Chain A
Amino acid sequence: MRASPPASPPPNLPPGAFTRAGFRRGARAALGLTLGLAPFGLVVGMAADARGLSLLETLLMSGLVFAGTSQLVALELWSDPAPILAATLAALVINLRMAPMGAALAPALDRLSGLRLWGTLAVLVDNSFALMVTEIRSGRRDAAFLLGASIAMWVVWIATTLAGHLFGAAVRLPPGHPVFFASVAALMSILVPLWRGRSDLLPWCVAGLLALGAQALGLGAPWPVLAGALGGAAAGAARDRRRDGAREAGRP
């Protein structure tokens, strides 16, 4: 709770805790979710191969960018010579959804600095973000958990883009194959630990409806996600503040 920070850090952790044990726990927590990442990694590896990227170039992109959707979109609009500006803009627009994620992780990041802070942020991905949020909500703020979860995802990401590049031509799965539903299924399972109870119903419904509306208007990524996320969060915040205001006013 950033709004009312505790007077002292949680008793189980020193300030700015960044522990080996936390790293290991994060990596373990992410293992199940890597199953959702694997088919996506294969697709990106195959797309890079189809676009004529060498294995080294493919691994550099996956290892350094480490953001699947933006890699896939950049590869869609790939050309020779490489589209430097277009690829950069695609990454900027599509990954804009991660800006509010870092902000929402403030309770775990505020006591860090230097390489630990910016290095942990540099490998942030959707799935490790969700795991860290549930950590924070259960009172644990060891940011190494986030790094561990991200690195576990990173290793699987590298391994599967490598496999996709090497064997993609042999496998040739059609684009709509059910295997690729794994990344959506992974996000569905993430929703369960994120659900805090009925007070989440309003922001979640507003988020879904706004995102659907933005898509119906023909807006492409990232606008449906950003409109839904910011609108849903604003609806929840407005409701909370009205409720808190009413409680204050009702006090004798």
Chain B
Amino acid sequence: MTLRWDVLAAILGMVAATFLCRAGGYAILRVTRPPPFIQAMLQHLPGAIFVAFLAPALAREGWPACVAGGAALLVQARLGRMALSILTGVAVLWIIRSLQ
């Protein structure tokens, strides 16, 4: 159970940077009333963030990942069980990869 000072310093640096990101956006919003356009943007941000994260991730992994992702989406839309949806996505990708 060693704890080196340089490792601790790197971890604390990461903690500070990450907290700045987590709290900073809201902190700015709390002190300044944003213009109406920004307020309208905030309504659309949640979906856009996840789509913007997923599109490049799926593109990098190719069509099997797109099919598996589609399967996860379908299961969630039909059955509404996130755990089942995740397992389906992994299983479909696993099957496609093992057939390739």
Contact = CB atoms under 8 A, between A and B. Distances in A.
A203 B2 contact: no
Give the residue among B9, B28, B51, B84 with the most A Cβ atoms within 10 A: B51
A130 interface: yes
A251 B42 CA distance: 27
Contacts of B61: 181, 184
Contacts of B18: 65-67, 70, 91-92, 95, 98
A241 B36 contact: yes
Contact of B6 (A56, A81, A187, A237): A81
B43 A237 contact: yes
A250 interface: no
B10 A82 contact: yes
A74 interface: yes
Interface in A205-252: 206-212, 214-215, 224-238, 240-241
Given A102-B24, A233-B41, A84 B1 contact: no
A47 to B, nearest CB: 14
B87 A35 contact: yes
A85 B72 CA distance: 39
A192 B65 CA distance: 18
A65 B17 CA distance: 9
Contacts, number: 310
Interface string A157-189: 000000000000000000000110110111111
Nearest to B39: A3
Contacts of B80: 192
Interface residues of A, number: 100
Q: What interface size band does chain B fall in?
A: 35 or more
Give the residue among B28, B80, B88, B90 with the most A Cβ atoms within 10 A: B90
A155 interface: no
Contacts of A190: 50, 82
Contacts of B38: 237
Contact of A84 (B6, B15, B22, B54): B6
A181 B73 CA distance: 13
Given A122-B23, A241-B37, A133 B6 contact: no
B1 A54 contact: yes
A187 B9 CA distance: 32
Given A2-B42, A95-B18, A224 B51 contact: no
Contacts of B81: 32
B99 interface: no
A107 to B, nearest CB: 9
A2 B39 CA distance: 7
A177 to B, nearest CB: 9
Contact of B17 (A82, A95, A178, A211): A95
A87 B37 contact: no
Interface in B23-37: 23-30, 36-37
A18 interface: no
Given A106-B30, A191-B54, A234-B41, 8 more contacts: A33-B83, A64-B12, A104-B42, A178-B93, A178-B97, A185-B90, A188-B54, A225-B52
